[in-house]
């Protein structure tokens, strides 16, 4: 099989051609090859080479291409050409594995490198001229929507237990129909090994799975086999997640992994906190997840005035998260869509007063300044932001006078 480079701009881009020319006998590998065969866009370009990383470094530098030594022990360097990054990895064979990490040796044997890869659809390579090198049944499986391990599924999983999750992630993205029986049986049999993996590696796979078109069917299988509870203990809402995926597809919304994780969890701050802990989410993702599930309700019939007040209080991003979660929970699509449109078009008004105005009005510096200012701001928000600076100063005086009475 051959793909036509003329039909794939990433292959004929000057940066790509410069890197490939510098490396000599190099082939594209991984997602770029999969996506090219399927005719979908390519984002990341990975390259395999039959030489040790020291030689890759030397060849790239000789052509004036910037190189970052990202993982020399595992044979990986990153070439920076223009604004593009290319991950370049030497062909490898596993010397020793422990289910989490592998000790590797470099090789110049393409078939040997292919044999250590996880799935048949990941054991395909493409030359610069578009010729596909398939060392198993990768092309056939990719077109048929079959995600199958290279060789014995149990052996591949024992080499790296993260492959349990990769099976489900790749099926969610590329699979059609039922999961591979042998792979599923091997994954379910090794589910207790997931606890040996770092939370960061688990989270990365789970979040990428959640970005698939509709991850719910795969997650149902993970739940039925006891794999999902190993990652997210407690009650989960697969129907709400599936509805959110449908909303995304129907409205061409971006697939948001953290929001989809929120849809999967109950509306409970403790559940959000537990999930964030289990996955060791970043502080930003943790905060977003917890705020999305803190129990605040937004009715579909929320009036425009109340919606503007809520937008001011919690911000556009948090407002939209809550609207989408409520929409996925059921109800009238038109009403939720209108609230999202309002959020997209809303511009936050500026409150006319500051703490300095409060102190100039006679309130001593300290906690009373914030308390008084908040009372005036509440009044201003309640009036739909209509009051100008003069009216706000009058209200400030009224609040201070009342406090002193």
Give me the pLDDT at residue 131, please: 97
Specify the residue for token string 């790296």: 160
- Residues 51-83: tens digit of each pLDDT: 999 999 999 999 999 999 988 778 899 999 999
**Mean pLDDT over the full length of the chain:** 94
Residue written as token pair 């009051």 = 387
What band does 101 get if pLDDT is binned at 50, 70 and 90? Answer: low
| Tens digits of residue pLDDT in 324-347 | 999 999 877 889 999 999 999 999
Evaluate if residue 352 carries a pLDDT over 70. yes
> Which residues does residue 49 pair with via DSSP β-bridges, in sequence order?
90
Task: Report which of 360, 384, 383 is spatially closest to residue 372, judged by C-alpha positions.
Answer: 360
Residue 100's pLDDT is: 63
Question: Domains of the chain (ranges plus CATH)?
Answer: 1-144 (3.30.460.10), 151-293 (1.10.3090.10), 304-345 (no CATH), 355-404 (no CATH)
High-pLDDT (> 90) share of the chain, %: 88
Label residues 203-221 b or e (16+ Cβ within 10 Å = b): bbbbbbbbbbebbbbbbeb
Q: Tell me, what's the pLDDT at 163?
A: 97
pLDDT at 332: 74
Segment 106-138, tens digit of pLDDT: 999 999 999 999 999 999 999 999 999 999 999
Cβ pair 402, 363 in contact under 8 A: no
Sort 288 into a burial class: Cβ within 10 Å, 0-12 / 13-18 / 19+.
Answer: buried
What is residue 99's predicted lDDT score, i.e. its pLDDT?
59
pLDDT attached to residue 272 = 94
List of residues 6+ apart from 233 with CB closer than 8 A? 274, 278
Q: 208-242: per-residue pLDDT in tens?
A: 999 999 999 999 999 999 999 999 988 899 999 99
pTM: 0.90
Give the DSSP H/E element, type plus range, for residue 66: strand 66-71
């Amino acid at each position: 099989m051959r793909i036509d480079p003329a039909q794939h701009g990433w292959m004929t881009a000057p940066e790509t051609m410069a890197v490939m020319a510098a490396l000599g006998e190099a082939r594209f590998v991984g997602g770029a090859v999969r996506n090219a065969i399927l005719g979908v866009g390519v984002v990341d370009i990975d390259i395999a080479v039959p030489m040790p990383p020291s030689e890759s470094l030397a060849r790239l530098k000789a052509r004036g291409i910037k190189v970052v030594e990202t993982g020399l022990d595992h044979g990986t360097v990153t070439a920076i050409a223009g604004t593009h990054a290319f991950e370049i990895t030497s062909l490898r064979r596993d010397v020793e594995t422990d289910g989490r990490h592998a000790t590797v040796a470099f090789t110049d044997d393409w078939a040997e490198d292919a044999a250590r890869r996880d799935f048949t659809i990941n054991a395909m390579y493409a030359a610069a001229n578009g010729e596909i090198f398939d060392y198993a049944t990768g092309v056939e499986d990719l077109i048929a929507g079959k995600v199958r391990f290279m060789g014995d599924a149990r052996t591949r999983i024992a080499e790296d237990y993260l492959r349990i999750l990769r099976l489900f992630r790749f099926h969610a993205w590329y699979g059609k129909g039922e999961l591979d029986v042998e792979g599923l049986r091997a994954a379910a049999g090794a589910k207790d090994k997931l606890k040996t993996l770092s939370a960061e590696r688990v989270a990365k796979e789970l979040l990428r799975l959640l970005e698939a078109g509709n991850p719910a069917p795969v997650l149902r299988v993970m739940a039925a086999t006891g794999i999902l509870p190993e990652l997210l203990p407690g009650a989960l809402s697969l129907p709400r997640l599936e509805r959110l995926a449908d909303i995304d597809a129907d409205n061409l919304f971006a697939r948001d992994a953290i929001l989809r994780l929120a849809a999967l969890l109950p509306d409970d701050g403790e559940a959000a906190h537990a999930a964030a802990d289990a996955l060791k989410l970043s502080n930003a993702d943790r905060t977003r997840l917890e705020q999305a599930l803190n129990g605040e309700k937004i009715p579909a019939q929320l009036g425009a005035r109340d919606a503007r007040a809520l937008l001011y209080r919690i911000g556009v991003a948090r407002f939209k998260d809550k609207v989408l979660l409520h929409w996925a929970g059921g109800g009238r699509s038109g009403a939720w869509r209108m609230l999202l449109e309002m959020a997209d078009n809303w511009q936050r008004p500026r409150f006319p007063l500051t703490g300095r105005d409060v102190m100039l009005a006679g309130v001593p510096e300290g906690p009373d300044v914030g308390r008084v200012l908040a009372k005036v701001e509440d009044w201003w928000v309640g009036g739909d932001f209509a009051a100008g600076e003069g009216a706000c100063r009058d209200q400030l005086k009224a609040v201070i006078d009342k406090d002193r009475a």
